[in-house]
Amino acid sequence: MVMAAAAPMSVVVALMPLAFAFGNGEGMPGTYLNAIAAMLLFAVGYVRIIPYVSNAGAFYAYIGASIGRTAGLAAAYVAAVCYFALSASTLSAFAFFCEQFVRTTMGLHAPWYLWAYLSIILIAFLAYHRITLAAKALALALGAEVLLILVLDFAIVAHVGPSGMHLSNFSPKLVYAPGLGIGAIYAFDSIIGIEGTAIYQEETRNRRVTVPRATYISIILVGLFYVFTAWCLSSSVPAGAVSGIAKGNPGNFVVDRASTYLGAWGALGVSVLVLTSSLAAVLALFNNSARYLYALARDGVIPAVLASTHRRHKSPHVAGAVLTVGLVAVVAAAQVLGLDPLVNVTTALVGLGSVGLMTLMAVTSLGIPVFFLRRHSPTLSNTLAPFLGGLIIAGAVYLAFTNYSLVTGVSSTVINHLPYLLLVIAAAGLAQAEWLRRFRPAVYLQIGQNRVEEAPGEPTDTRDSTGQPRTSAVG
């Protein structure tokens, strides 16, 4: 689920050429490697806190357990909105490219919103059923897209030979070159979503083993895949030329490489699998948002009906139904207003979701040391590592905010000020938390804490990480 949310094919086809074009060009393979290092530092602390807090809210629960319930509730609303925004933005991009593909290959002229509505039906069906059904569907799409990109990678290696692979791509001179800030944004944007491992922990058989293992595997496999692919794509053109070539036609950069090294079938395969990759990402991001609503409802801060799970499938089907209506509303609004699904809808929402999740990841990483310091059990792995990772990710967040127009790729003042909407959402969460603290203290004490547990081998503690009496498990 996490790797599908990363949407490898979509990243390679859509984001990587932009990183080459507007980032540090040849230094992007090394930039991806640095992003992996920062994410691993984050993950070292992240997996240490998971045994203490079992909650489908993930960032919500961890920020609540470390920094405080008030901050946790604000984070929950931001996360739910960000995942929904990314799901809607990816859906719009999928519908746009689906319309283009069907028209050019089959001669059929169906409007983009028709493909959007049809895909919403499929997303709703898969989200309604047990998570294993969605996982199987995503595994098929994920396997196909990764396999094709690897075939392209090895075709490039075979063509240029070992001597043609530019080792300078990893040199500090090229990595820390002008454009590093933009390259770092795209690198982190390609890897965000790793929180998904903890989101599904209540649906796993052995979360203490499965979640940490899935976290490390996802970061390493997805990260190294991007490093290797960026290295191969950069080496497929003359040294120093990748930035200029990618800037000339970023939309077809990878398709052109596939056509050159694999032939027409390779280009067609990339065009098809970028669609399945996008659809898989929509489903994974949709599921993440649904589980945030479920966690909030179970804690009593939004209507309890959203915490309902299907008797047979165990999925948060009511939360999923609400988000399905939300996706329909986004598409319908774009249809009525005559908005372009790619230029208007996707660009407006993708930056909003990406910057928001990067911010939450930085706050979570910096909050984990606070959690363990309060428990008087700091170590290098649970304190220093996440602190360093959080600082690096926070730096990437700063770059994203200060270069936001380059993230969206448009000059619209409205779109490029959308990140400030996250401040409004966070403020609403802070205000509700303060109101609950004063007028409904029993509900306030449940925020993000109803699944706090002792880690294996620790003595039982009657107070939670914030010093408040521990609440009993709910649901």
- The pair of structure tokens assigned to 341 is 């699904």
Encoded tokens for 405: 């127009």
- The overall average pLDDT reported for the chain is 84
Dihedral-angle region of residue 166 (phi above 0 means left; psi in -120 to 50 means alpha; beta otherwise): beta
Q: Residue length, the chain?
A: 475
Q: Give a yes or no: residue 462 inside a domain.
A: no
Q: Phi and psi at residue 374, in whole multiples of 5°?
A: -65, -30
Domain range holding 228? Answer: 2-444
The answer to whether position 460 is within a domain reads: no
463 pLDDT above the threshold of 60: no
What DSSP character marks residue 452?
Answer: B
Measured distance CA(314)–CA(204) in Å, rounded: 12
Q: Kindly state whether residue 376 falls inside one of the protein's structural domains.
A: yes
Residue-wise pLDDT tens digits, 364-410 = 999 999 999 988 888 888 999 999 999 999 988 888 888 788 777 67
> Is residue 277 included in any domain, yes or no?
yes
Beta bridge partners of 472: none
Those residues whose C-beta lies under 8 Å from the C-beta of residue 76, and which sit 6 or more positions away, are 57, 59, 60, 292, 295, 296, 301, 429, 448
- Does the residue 464 lie in any domain? no
Q: What is the separation of C-alpha 39 from the centre of its chain, rounded to a whole number of angstroms?
A: 13
Cβ proximity of 16 and 186 under 8 Å: yes
How many structural domains does the chain have?
1
How far apart CA 199 and CA 203 sit, in angstroms, is 9
- 20-72 residue pLDDT tens: 988 899 999 999 999 999 999 999 988 888 778 766 667 888 898 889 999 99
Q: Rounded distance, CA 375 to CA 372, Å?
A: 5
Contact residues for 235 (Cβ-Cβ < 8 A; gap 6+)? 156, 157, 160, 164, 165, 166, 169
pTM of the model: 0.82
Helix (H, G, I), strand (E, B) or coil at 53: strand
Domain assignment present for 349: yes
Spatial CB neighbours of 65, under 8 Å, sequence gap ≥ 6: 49, 52, 53, 72, 371, 448, 449, 452, 464, 465, 466
Q: Which of 390, 298, 468 is nearest to 46 (CA)?
A: 390
Q: What is the pLDDT of residue 467?
A: 44
* Residue pair 474/446 in contact by the 8 Å Cβ criterion: yes
- Predicted pLDDT at 469: 45
The CATH number that applies at residue 423 is: 1.20.1740.10
Q: Is 463 within a domain? A: no
The reply to whether 466 falls in a domain is no
Specify the 3-state DSSP secondary structure of 463: strand
- Is the pLDDT at 3 greater than 50, yes or no? yes
Phi, psi of 233 (to 5 degrees): -65, -40
The string of DSSP letters for 148-214 reads HHHHHHHHHHHHH-GGGS-GGGGSHHHHTSTTHHHHHHHHHHHH--TTHHHHTGGGSS-HHHHHHHH
Residue-wise pLDDT tens digits, 74-102: 999 999 999 999 999 889 988 988 998 89
